[in-house]
Every structure is written in C-alpha cells, then in structure tokens.
Amino acid sequence: MKYTNALQGKSLICTQDWKKEELDLVLDLALAMKENRYDHHLKDCLKNRTFFMFFYNPSVRTRQSFEAAATELGGHAQFLEPKSMRLKTEKTAGETIEDAAKVMSRYAVGLGVRILEDKIPYYGAGEALIREYEQFSSIPVFSMAHDKYHPFQGLADIMGLKEHLQELKGKKVLMVWGHGGLARSWCSVQEHLLIASRFGMSVRLAYPRGYDLDSDVIEKTKKNCENNSQEFSITHDMDEAYKDVHVVYSRNWMSPEAYQDGEFHKPSEIEKAMKHKEWICDEEKMKLTSHALFIHPMPVDRGNEVTDGVASSSRSIIYDVAENRLHVQKAVMALTMGKY
C-alpha cells in the first residue's frame, strides 16, 4: 500500500470533516497494521517524535490506546493535565489557548484533547475549545472525545462492523438509548450516527421522549442517508425499534436540559434517567433483530444499558471494537504526522 502526503498535518475533530476516501484510507491502513501489528513497514514513522495527550477528563482505553499507538510507531505520547499547567480560564489568570497551542506546536508533532460534559459550562464549549486549539496550532489536533464528537471511536466502530459484516451498505443499525446512572455525553452516539450513515448504513434512532440529540447532527445524518439511498428514522417504540436490524448500539446519553445556568446537573440527569428502567437492551429485544451484532464504545453500564447476557454473547463485538481503537489511532497518526 502506497501513501501520499495528502493527510500530513490534517486535524481530526469529527469524521464528517474528512472525505469518505480519506476515511477509507485510514481503515485500510488500520486493518493492515492490525494484521501485521509489530512489523508493519510504518512501525518507525514516529521515531523520536512526541504526541501530546491533553486530558481534561480521565480515561481508560483512550490513554492506554494512544500511548500504545505512539510506542508501536516508534514515538512517545506525553500525558498532560490542565491542573498541572497555568492555563487561563473564565475564573483564573494564565496562559491563553493561542499561546499554549503555538508553544506546544514547537515541541510535538500532534496534540490530542479530551474534554467531556462535566468540564464545560454548556453543550458546545468542548467543541469550541478544541477548534480554538486547532486554529492556533501548526500541528494536527485530534479530538480524543469531546461533548459533540468522538472520531476515533466512530472509526473503530466501523472497522469492527466491516470485519464482521463485510458489506455495510444497506445494513440497518439501531442506536438506542439505555437507562443508567452515568449521564453520558452525546459524543460517541453522534459520531456513530454520522459515520455509519456515511458508510451506507440505514439508521434507526430510538429513545424516550425528552432525549433528543443535536438537531444539526440529525440533519447531517439524514443527508448522509439520502446520499446513500438509505433510510433514517426516529422512534420512541422499543419493540418496533429492534425489528429486523443488523446492529444494535445501546448507550445512555443525557437530555438537552443537562446544562442549566452554566453548570452540568448530573444528579438530576441520573434521577430522570433511572425512571426509564424498561429501556435496556436484553435478550428478548435482541430476538426481534436480524441476528444483530451488539456494539458499545465502553465502559458498559451492565444491568442498565444492556444485560450481561447480551454484552457477553457471541454476537457482541465490544472487545473487537475496543481493540480497533489502537489500530485506527495508529493509522491516523501515521498518515497525519508520520515520516515515510
């Protein structure tokens, strides 16, 4: 496989920002790297290069997979936290994003930022922060998950589905809300709606009334489906939602009322969500599907979003998708900041 410099220096904040053929290139390279993990010819493309990981929120898979990815490409991933840096905020004096971005661009070849719901005052603030880092950086800026999108999770989802289903065009994916005590952001859910529809899947969205997602994302998903001659639908009927789908993605997400007066109201969101205990992906609902695969970005809220029986079944590919985070991240890093 031959590569060009077309993606060198390109940021990834949402997969919708990239051309379909660019996403295909990433997935092809990720699969090649998975098949030849430690001996791929790009294994030293980040030799002596540093990737900064800026975590406003903690993680398990994200930090592990990015550090492993940098190491397996011959480079180094450096962990950063805002509490250990003198950064300007609405309440404190310090260095501006412009200054920080320009300085970090002199030290590293790429910057990843992770900022989720409880570290921002309103929906969209995380997106704005990452876009500002991108504006002032001369190196690629990646979203490692923010309030709107989670591009690497979306790529890992599609890679896993392609491995198990081969052809995605015309397959039906159900994105279904799950009850639970985590009040999760919209990032993984919205990213999956966008990328699944880009790859020709029919999309069905199901949730209790009052849990609408970003209207702009919904419109883009509809348009993607139209461009691929596929269907997009929204339902509040669980039994109807599961019928004849090929993929089930059950995930809790917060309501549009989660932010009030510049604060994220997690306790009230959890209290509200726990009233919908019937919204759980279980074995009986999966029987309504077309022998569907089960996917989830993890961590799984077992017993709330999904039963153990479904999450641990032979049709669950949650661990394959989790592994694929490593491979798609390696591919994007190699293509955007590697030397080859």
Residues 204 and 311 both lie in one domain = yes
The pLDDT score that the predictor gives to residue 80 is 94
Q: Decide if 5 is inside a domain.
A: no
**Which among 170, 242, 230 is positioned nearest to 205, based on CA atoms?**
242
Q: Decide if 101 is inside a domain.
A: yes
Residues 67 and 34 both lie in one domain = yes
Residues 158 and 304 both lie in one domain = yes
The pLDDT score that the predictor gives to residue 235 is 98
Q: Which of residues 93 and 106 earns the better pLDDT score?
A: 106
The pLDDT score that the predictor gives to residue 4 is 65
At residue 87 the predicted structure's pLDDT band, cuts being 50, 70 and 90, is confident
Q: What is the DSSP letter of 87?
A: B
Give pLDDT tens digits for 251-298: 999 999 999 999 999 999 999 999 999 999 999 999 999 999 999 999
For the residues 209-224, what does the mean pLDDT come to?
Answer: 98
Looking at every residue in the chain, the average pLDDT score rounds to 95
Residues 27 and 60 both lie in one domain = yes
User: Contact 290/244 with Cβ under 8 angstroms?
Assistant: yes
Q: Decide if 7 is inside a domain.
A: no
Give pLDDT tens digits for 293-322: 999 999 999 999 999 999 999 999 999 999
Residues 175 and 262 both lie in one domain = yes
Name the domain count of the chain: 2
The pLDDT score that the predictor gives to residue 322 is 98
Residues 172 and 296 both lie in one domain = yes
Q: What is the DSSP letter of 13?
A: S
Residues 162 and 310 both lie in one domain = yes
The pLDDT score that the predictor gives to residue 60 is 85
Distances (CA, A) of 256 to 37, 62, 310: 42, 26, 29
For the residues 205-225, what does the mean pLDDT come to?
Answer: 98
Q: Decide if 89 is inside a domain.
A: yes
Give pLDDT tens digits for 96-122: 999 999 999 999 999 999 999 999 999
Q: Decide if 30 is inside a domain.
A: yes
Q: Decide if 42 is inside a domain.
A: yes
Q: What is the DSSP letter of 281?
A: B
Structure tokens at 33: 């790297």
Distances (CA, A) of 280 to 150, 174, 274, 333: 23, 13, 11, 36
Q: Decide if 9 is inside a domain.
A: no
User: Contact 175/193 with Cβ under 8 angstroms?
Assistant: yes
Residues 78 and 182 both lie in one domain = no
Between CA 2 and CA 46 the distance in angstroms is 17
Q: Is the pLDDT of residue 1 over 60?
A: no
Strands, DSSP E only, in the chain? 50-55, 76-80, 110-115, 141-146, 172-177, 202-206, 232-235, 247-251, 259-260, 263-264, 293-295
Q: Is the pLDDT of residue 130 over 90?
A: yes
Between CA 225 and CA 210 the distance in angstroms is 24
The pLDDT score that the predictor gives to residue 241 is 98
Element (H, E) at 158: helix 151-165
The pLDDT score that the predictor gives to residue 89 is 66
User: Contact 213/219 with Cβ under 8 angstroms?
Assistant: no
At residue 93 the predicted structure's pLDDT band, cuts being 50, 70 and 90, is low
Sign of the Cα pseudo-torsion (19, 20, 21, 23, in order): positive
User: Contact 149/310 with Cβ under 8 angstroms?
Assistant: no
Between CA 103 and CA 98 the distance in angstroms is 9
Residues 135 and 21 both lie in one domain = yes
Between CA 234 and CA 253 the distance in angstroms is 16
Q: Decide if 10 is inside a domain.
A: no
Between CA 259 and CA 264 the distance in angstroms is 5
The pLDDT score that the predictor gives to residue 216 is 98
Residues 133 and 178 both lie in one domain = no
CATH number for the domain harbouring residue 81? 3.40.50.1370
Residues 126 and 112 both lie in one domain = yes
Residues 111 and 176 both lie in one domain = no
The pLDDT score that the predictor gives to residue 90 is 61
User: Contact 194/17 with Cβ under 8 angstroms?
Assistant: no
Q: Is the pLDDT of residue 153 over 80?
A: yes
Give the residue numbers spanning the domain of 79: 15-149+322-337
